[in-house]
Structure 1
């Protein structure tokens, strides 16, 4: 047998082997094939829905807010946040915020503010918070502003850091500030109380599953 015939036979055997591997009984598609897995991933679909709903929004905040992009619930372009961020430090983000041209701005600050080493952390923070809102109104006059209350911590976290007991009082200050500035105000605490399993190990931050719940509670603010 010459080399040409050998090559043709080898090629024919290869084609038959590939055909048999691709087919199951009676020539059907093999289980687990791409054709049988065309269904969309529900989590990916939900994420795309939030990305669309909040595509003209920016979330300005601390490490809790940062979880929105860290867990890939929203794009980084829609989240302007970082660990240790306070109302005072957020003033440095104004130029970046303006560049993003948001129609809706959600501010979630205070978790670090109430720990600030000053005689009156609440007063100190709310003074800068009011300044922050004033600058946003000046540079983005058509944007809607919603203040999100500081999220509660677990009893264990509060025991470890007693200053977290001031969260309710601080949130009352935020609520009054929102009314004064004619901004929206949303308190997530009642819903978090129904889902204690969403806390991360430190009892302060949250697992990825928390953020879709958070956005569900905020979606009316962008309609």
Structure 2
């Protein structure tokens, strides 16, 4: 028997080699875990700054020096929201006085607003929209009777004409809307009478912004009635003359009629299913949404 071929009793060759590798593996694993933990703590303590791409520059509407803004998009959005809630949009005082669409204007813009008009304007009080504004109006009033008919009640029980009552206020903005009650006049007489109203209000309040609002359309059903006072083609014609008068007088023109017209140019039938002229609270809100996005700054 070859004793060299026999292994001593208690030989653990393979087990011993495994026992030698196990501590190494455990140590290696521990080092890896420890390194990962250290790396994680370092990232929390000192994160790597992410540098976003350079944003596109946006010209500032309030910057008259010609410089541009390099704010990041989030800052620009916050700035835009702040501006729309606090400021009104500025309209170029060029040859045209038509007010274009701008930023959403805060309700506080109307704190010093005076609305002058007939039954359409009277609805502002009826539906309690823009209740912070002052309203001087009366159903059936026209461009003549606004100077002569005493309809505004005073605290002492007496009454004043709308024009006399307007002198008691100090508005920063004046909104005028004279509609179908006045359009029965010949166009030249209508423009002359409207111009007199504008001139009087400007004399009373020379520092106020004056808005002339377009005559609103009537429904197609109203046009078909035998007792219809006017039609939309005539209203459009008078509105063109009204816008020219506003430009001549140097006051602002608001084409409010555009949001009330359907595809045929008539007042939406659902807006005024009863008489074809007057409308309800939903459309008053549409009207004031239009005014809030069509405003000029003082």
TM-score, with length taken from structure 1: 0.70
**Residue matched to 2:286:** 213
**Residue matched to 2:238:** 170
SS in 2 for 1:58: strand
Aligned: 1:198 with 2:267 = no
SS in 2 for 1:67: helix
**Residue matched to 2:209:** 144
Q: 2 CA distance for matches of 1:102 and 1:178?
A: 19
Aligned residue-pair number: 171
Q: Which runs of 4+ in 1 moved over 4 A?
A: none
Unaligned runs of 5+ in 2: 1-104, 148-160
Structure 2 counterparts to residues 70-219 of structure 1, below 5 A: 70-75=126-131, 78-91=134-147, 92-116=161-185, 120=186, 122-160=187-225, 161=228, 163-165=230-232, 166-193=234-261, 196=268, 197-219=270-292
SS in 1 for 2:284: helix
Q: 2 CA distance for matches of 1:192 and 1:206?
A: 10
Q: Give the 3 Å change call, closer, same or farther, for CA 213–77 of structure 1 in structure 2.
A: closer
Unaligned runs of 5+ in 1: 1-48
Work out which of the two has the higher radius of gyration on C-alpha atoms and give 1 or 2: 2
Asked if 2 retains the 8 angstrom alpha-carbon contact of 1:110 and 1:125, the reply is no
Instruction: Report deviation, 1:222.
Output: 5.3
Cα RMSD for the two superposed structures: 2.2
**Structure with the higher fraction of residues in helix conformation:** 1
SS in 1 for 2:239: helix
